[in-house]
């Protein structure tokens, strides 16, 4: 379920007012326009609710980009448990994998994320050098590419080597810590470890305001209508974790003799949407191949729930939503009207294996990679097509590549087609290959493309089963911009 039902919401609201009435540590200054749409009060016992929370472990191999010292476990009570009305994430000094510490990192991505709203968590923080708890947000769909292009919202970060300081930060492709240009601020807060404090961000279409309790720490404004500056127009999900170590920590003297275990205690996470009191319009469109049924109205009351059901025509399948719903949302879903909203349902022919082959959703579903020691390239979308600017060609075509994962079945025939053009006549290569080392090719073909946009295709029968393979476009052998559009890969049906 993606959105809580009316009854559940009413209960939450009631609960919320009772808390205000009893003065139970809640921000008393919460403006009445905020409507609670989702919450986890952590009232149960055991693991955090599996329907809402996913344990993240895939970065254990590579240290999550910061050489972090912990091994995040999956569904292990010793590292994440709900107890006495709280979530407790525990960092422990114990070897696991090739790490010396264990901990947990959980996210709400499977709910589908939220666009705009107030996101808050009431938390009591662990302490000690090397301890790095965070409450933060990442995009559900990488429309603008991987980190940092998609954006990151750090509602609360605490670094054990900087006692009493809470950091609020945003990262985008123009402003990020890799460049040392991230935007943010910090606030001195007392009793971070003995008392609960409320950490919140209020996210509007044109600004992000960060708070600790009632105090505003930082505000980031949309100064330019460009995703490099403002990628915050997509759905984001929440993350809670307690990291240990990390590059900044090592530069500041390391983990030292901090005592373990250390607990991050979370009383609740709540998500609100802003009710501006106005009715809102809903525009529903579809691609070819299906329709959407819902109750059509000229305007919807603020907060009104609209049930949407996408239905594919014969020979087509539903792929995902875009606009007011993220691609995680099911084909039958409910949305609440807090903004004028446009939603689009995407359908493709049943035999189609690719997502976003028309680049209508920017770079969604496409992976980009450059062998940075040999070549340099930038990827963007340009008038609805993929644009690859090869600034420094490599020795090999595969040193600049765009890929999408596809499963292959032995004995099946596949047809790849695409439109391509380039500023100067050149070659590109299309490969169907392993999506894992040693990236062996099952099939490949080189194409000569020129200034004129043309459609190319090739058909191949694959002699192996491989669930983890991919379609790969290689651009590394020529300089200058290349465009790609309407990419399709279809499995021949008997």
Residues identified as active-site: 152, 157
Residue range at the interface with Ca ion (CB under 5 A); choices 149-157, 283-291, 350-358, 450-458: 350-358
Which two tokens mark 54? 């996913």
Binding residues for Ca ion, how many (CB under 5 A)? 9
Nearer to Ca ion, 43 or 276 (CB): 43
Binding mask 386-425 for Ca ion (x = CB under 5 A): ----------------------------------------
Residue range at the interface with Ca ion (CB under 5 A); choices 41-49, 133-141, 300-308, 389-397: 41-49
Site for Ca ion in 59-118 (CB under 5 A): 85
Smallest gap from Cβ 40 to Ca ion, in A, equals 8
Smallest gap from Cβ 15 to Ca ion, in A, equals 10
Smallest gap from Cβ 359 to Ca ion, in A, equals 5
Supply angle C-alpha 187, 191, 197, rounded to 5. 70
Residues 6+ apart with CB under 8 A from 388: 377, 378, 379, 400, 402, 475, 481, 482, 483, 484
Site for Ca ion in 370-389 (CB under 5 A): 384
Residues 6+ apart with CB under 8 A from 491: 351, 353, 409, 412, 413, 414
Smallest gap from Cβ 70 to Ca ion, in A, equals 25
The residue within the footprint of Ca ion, chosen from 42, 53, 119, 274 (CB under 5 A), is: 42
Residue range at the interface with Ca ion (CB under 5 A); choices 246-254, 445-453, 459-467, 479-487: 479-487
Per-residue CA distances from 332 to 52, 106, 325, 335, 428 (Å): 18, 26, 11, 10, 40
Nearer to Ca ion, 31 or 43 (CB): 43
Smallest gap from Cβ 152 to Ca ion, in A, equals 26
Q: Do 42 and 48 form a contact (C-beta atoms < 8 A)?
A: yes
Does 44 engage in binding with Ca ion (CB under 5 A)? no
Q: Give the number of other CB atoms < 10 A from CB of residue 490.
A: 19
Closest CA to 227 of 301, 116, 335, 146: 146
Strand 70-72 and strand 99-103: the pairing is parallel
Nearer to Ca ion, 144 or 260 (CB): 144
Smallest gap from Cβ 195 to Ca ion, in A, equals 15
- Cα separation of 171 and 150, whole Å? 9
Closest CA to 181 of 171, 195, 190: 171
The residue within the footprint of Ca ion, chosen from 182, 485, 488, 489 (CB under 5 A), is: 485
Which residues partner with 238 through β-bridges? 137
- Cα separation of 248 and 211, whole Å? 24
Nearer to Ca ion, 233 or 358 (CB): 358
Q: Do 368 and 315 form a contact (C-beta atoms < 8 A)?
A: no
Nearer to Ca ion, 41 or 152 (CB): 41
Smallest gap from Cβ 43 to Ca ion, in A, equals 6
Smallest gap from Cβ 122 to Ca ion, in A, equals 8
Which residues partner with 400 through β-bridges? 370
- Cα separation of 210 and 221, whole Å? 12
For the chain, helix (H) and strand (E) counts, in that order, are 2, 33
The single-letter DSSP state of residue 115 is S
Largest CA-CA distance found in the chain, in angstroms, rounded = 73
Does 358 engage in binding with Ca ion (CB under 5 A)? yes
Nearer to Ca ion, 216 or 387 (CB): 387
The residue within the footprint of Ca ion, chosen from 41, 68, 362, 474 (CB under 5 A), is: 41
φ/ψ (deg, to 5) at 21: -60, -35
Site for Ca ion in 262-281 (CB under 5 A): 267-268
Which residues partner with 198 through β-bridges? 122
Nearer to Ca ion, 285 or 461 (CB): 285
Nearer to Ca ion, 84 or 206 (CB): 84
- Cα separation of 61 and 112, whole Å? 26
Closest CA to 80 of 263, 270, 269: 263
Q: What is the number of the residue whose Cβ is closest to Ca ion?
A: 384
Residues that bind Ca ion (CB under 5 A): 41-42, 85, 267-268, 358-359, 384, 485
């Amino acid at each position: 379920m993606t959105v809580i039902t009316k009854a559940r919401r009413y209960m939450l609201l009631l609960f919320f007012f009772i808390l205000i009435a009893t003065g139970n540590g809640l921000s008393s200054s919460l403006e009445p326009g905020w409507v609670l749409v989702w919450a986890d009060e952590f009232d149960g016992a055991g693991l955090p609710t599996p329907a809402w929370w996913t344990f993240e472990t895939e970065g254990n191999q590579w240290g999550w980009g910061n050489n972090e010292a912990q091994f995040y476990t999956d569904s292990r009570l010793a590292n994440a448990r709900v107890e006495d009305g709280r979530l407790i994430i525990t960092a422990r000094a114990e070897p696991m994998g090739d790490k010396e510490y264990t901990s947990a990192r959980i996210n709400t991505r499977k709910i589908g994320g939220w666009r705009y709203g107030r996101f808050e968590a009431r938390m009591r923080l662990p302490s000690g050098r090397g301890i790095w708890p965070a409450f933060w947000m990442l995009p559900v769909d990488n429309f603008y590419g991987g980190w940092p292009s998609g954006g990151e919202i750090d509602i609360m970060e605490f670094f054990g080597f900087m006692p009493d300081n809470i950091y609020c930060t945003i990262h985008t492709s123009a402003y990020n810590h890799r460049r040392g240009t991230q935007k943010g601020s910090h606030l001195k807060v007392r009793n971070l470890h003995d008392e609960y404090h409320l950490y919140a961000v209020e996210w509007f279409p044109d600004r992000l305001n960060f708070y600790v309790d009632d105090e505003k720490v930082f505000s980031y404004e949309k100064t330019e209508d460009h995703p490099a500056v403002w990628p915050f127009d997509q759905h984001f999900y929440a993350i809670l974790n307690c990291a240990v170590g990390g590059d900044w920590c090592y530069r500041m003297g390391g983990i030292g003799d901090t005592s373990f275990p250390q607990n991050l205690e979370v009383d609740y996470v709540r998500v609100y949407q802003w009710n501006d009191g106005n009715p809102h319009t809903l525009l529903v469109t579809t691609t070819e191949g299906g329709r959407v049924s819902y109750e059509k109205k000229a305007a919807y009351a603020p907060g009104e729930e609209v049930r949407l059901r996408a239905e594919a025509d014969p020979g087509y399948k539903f792929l995902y939503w875009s606009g007011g719903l993220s691609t995680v949302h099911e084909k039958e879903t409910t949305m609440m009207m807090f903004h004028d909203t446009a939603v689009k349902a995407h359908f493709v022919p049943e035999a189609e294996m690719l997502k976003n082959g028309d680049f209508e959703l920017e770079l969604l579903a496409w992976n980009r990679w450059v062998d940075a020691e040999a070549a340099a390239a930038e990827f963007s979308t340009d008038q609805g097509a993929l644009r690859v600017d090869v600034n420094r060609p490599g020795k090999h075509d595969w040193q600049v590549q765009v890929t999408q994962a596809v499963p292959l079945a032995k004995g099946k025939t596949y047809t790849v087609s695409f439109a391509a053009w380039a500023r100067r006549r050149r070659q590109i290569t299309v490969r169907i290959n392993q999506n894992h080392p040693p990236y062996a090719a099952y099939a490949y073909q080189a194409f000569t493309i020129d200034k004129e946009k043309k459609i190319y295709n090739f058909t191949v029968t694959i002699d192996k089963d491989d669930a983890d393979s991919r379609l790969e476009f290689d651009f590394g052998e020529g300089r200058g911009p290349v465009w790609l559009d309407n990419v399709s890969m279809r499995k021949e049906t008997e």
